Amino acid sequence: MDFLIIRKKIHGFKKSLNIDGDKSLSIRWALLSSQSSKKCKSSNLLLSEDIINTLNCLKKLGVKIKINNNFCEIDGLGLNGFNYKKNLVLNAGNSGTLGRLILGLLVHSEKNIILKGDKSLSKRDFYRVSEPLKRFGAKFKTNHGKLPLKIKGTNNSVPISFYENKGSAQCKSAVMFAALNTFGETVIKAKKSRDHTELLFKYLKLPIKILKKKNYDIIKIRGKKKIPALNYKIPSDISSAAFFIVLTALSKKSKLKIKNVIINPSRTGILSILKLMGIKILKSNIRVYKGEKIADLTIKSSQKINPINCPSKFNSAAIDEFLLIFLVAAKANGVSYFKNLSELNQKESPRLIWGSKILNKIGIKNILTKNSIKIFGNPNIDVNKKIIIKSFLKDHRVFMTSVVAALTFGGKWQIHDKDSVKTSFPSFLKKIRYLCAKS
């Protein structure tokens, strides 16, 4: 049975949790390690389907990988070291990050490779990466900008100047990966987005220069420098922690501590937005690990939630958390407004539209446009009816957000596509059961 039934609200829990490893860092660690000329080790690697697909793609490209629970060892092949047969087919599954970033590494692989993905990924835009990567010298044949696509790399790539204007870390990182193996200086002017790739390059002492401006960064990379060993303990994913942060804030008489969460400012949009909405989250044990900021977070039930006219400057740092933020706005004491969010409809499913669908189902008035949503909050929201959630594209974040809504707003829920949690957060339901169990 691939659905979950929830008929009871949760309240009164006081617990502490560890969350799975960060998805963005797990994928980046694996891809970058494949380019190292050394053996690389990681612990607390997220072993979700997106990362398993990453490791399978790398294995097909000739990379030797050992996994033991959440420990993983990759024998890097060095720059341009992939070794594979012509017309190799790589499957990125559901993962936009894998599909887009790996293309950056394939720009230099001369034998044809076909890249495909699942139903959801095959609906997403790949022109955003094939266009800049072509300029390095690779040839692409896409299905009208989508997957499946064919790439034929070049052994003679040239550096490019690229303006990344969507605020997409995937586009920025794909170009940064391509620059690694290109003689000369690649220059990227990038609208602000998560900066894990930059921090990893800096930690590895690769030749990267970053000039931070108010709304964008200038990133300069000189390629062809050998990549040393990348040993990494992956911190917990704030995008996964977010489900439990919002669950606690919206539940009565509850308190939760979540340990070792990534609080890189390019990821903490949700914390800034919730703070403006009056939700208090305490950060403790703040430290920096290989360039990434990490902390323990303590969240308490929130008595009163303020509506928000959400500043767009938080959009990119909260991009994966908006479905949850819309639930918080549903319980606010007034009207909230979120704008400039067209990128949300480019995710695993059109999430701005799905945000509105979930709100409609729980009886919260909202006005949706192509890039914005106005939400008429109700602090006394109490759902009393039967609700069925079945997203055509089986979006993991639609499933997990619906679970949070069911547990905090009440009603009789039947939430489909339970298996989708395997994409990013395999232990999600185990953790929900742990919070629901009487302590």
Q: How many residues does the chain have?
A: 439
Which of 90, 103, 138, 169 contacts ligand S3P by CB under 6 A? 169
102-139 in b/e burial notation, b at 16+ Cβ within 10 A?
Answer: bbbbbbbbeeebebbbbebbeebbbebbbebbebbbbe
Which residue, judged by CB position, is nearest to ligand S3P in the bound state?
24
* Cβ proximity to ligand S3P, 170 vs 408, nearer residue: 170
Interaction between residue 48 and ligand S3P (CB under 6 A): no
φ, ψ at 271 (rounded to 5°)? -65, -40
Reduced to 3 states (helix: H, G, I; strand: E, B; else coil), residue 370 is: coil
With beta carbons less than 8 A apart as the criterion, state whether 349 and 322 touch.
Answer: no
CB of 387 to ligand S3P, least distance (A): 26
* Cβ proximity to ligand S3P, 190 vs 329, nearer residue: 190
* Cβ proximity to ligand S3P, 120 vs 408, nearer residue: 120
Site for ligand S3P in 78-137 (CB under 6 A): 96-97
Q: How many residues bind ligand S3P (CB under 6 A)?
A: 13
- DSSP secondary structure letters along 99-137: HHHHHHHHTT--S-EEEE--TTGGGS--HHHHHHHHTTT
Reduced to 3 states (helix: H, G, I; strand: E, B; else coil), residue 381 is: coil
Q: Which stretch binds ligand S3P (CB under 6 A): 39-47, 167-175, 222-230, 290-298?
A: 167-175
Interaction between residue 349 and ligand S3P (CB under 6 A): no
With beta carbons less than 8 A apart as the criterion, state whether 100 and 126 touch.
Answer: yes
CB of 294 to ligand S3P, least distance (A): 17
* Cβ proximity to ligand S3P, 124 vs 416, nearer residue: 124
Site for ligand S3P in 278-307 (CB under 6 A): none
CB of 397 to ligand S3P, least distance (A): 9
Which of 168, 182, 240, 420 contacts ligand S3P by CB under 6 A? 168
CB of 61 to ligand S3P, least distance (A): 20
Q: Where are the alpha helices (DSSP H) in 135-195?
A: 169-180
Burial bucket for residue 174 (CB in 10 Å: 0-12, 13-18, 19+): buried
With beta carbons less than 8 A apart as the criterion, state whether 234 and 189 touch.
Answer: no
Q: Which stretch binds ligand S3P (CB under 6 A): 168-176, 177-185, 226-234, 289-297?
A: 168-176
Provide the 8-state DSSP code for 317: G
* Cβ proximity to ligand S3P, 108 vs 397, nearer residue: 397
Q: Which stretch binds ligand S3P (CB under 6 A): 7-15, 165-173, 366-374, 412-420?
A: 165-173
Site for ligand S3P in 22-41 (CB under 6 A): 24
φ, ψ at 316 (rounded to 5°)? -70, -35
Strands 14-18 and 64-68: unpaired
Phi-psi category of residue 150: left, alpha or beta, with phi > 0 → left and psi -120 to 50 → alpha:
beta
CB of 38 to ligand S3P, least distance (A): 24
320 classed as catalytic: yes
CA 379 to mean position of chain CA atoms: 30
Interaction between residue 170 and ligand S3P (CB under 6 A): yes
Which of 194, 267, 331, 361 contacts ligand S3P by CB under 6 A? 194
Site for ligand S3P in 308-327 (CB under 6 A): 319-320
Interaction between residue 47 and ligand S3P (CB under 6 A): no
CB of 266 to ligand S3P, least distance (A): 10
Listed in sequence order, the residues at least 6 apart from 214 whose beta carbon sits closer than 8 Å to its beta carbon are: none
Q: Which of 320, 382, 395, 417 is catalytic?
A: 320
Residue 187: beta bridge partners? 161, 220
Interaction between residue 208 and ligand S3P (CB under 6 A): no
Q: Which stretch binds ligand S3P (CB under 6 A): 79-87, 162-170, 260-268, 383-391?
A: 162-170
Dmax (CA) of the chain = 63
Catalytic positions are 320
Which residues of this chain interact with ligand S3P, rule CB under 6 A? 24, 96-97, 168-170, 173, 193-194, 319-320, 343, 347
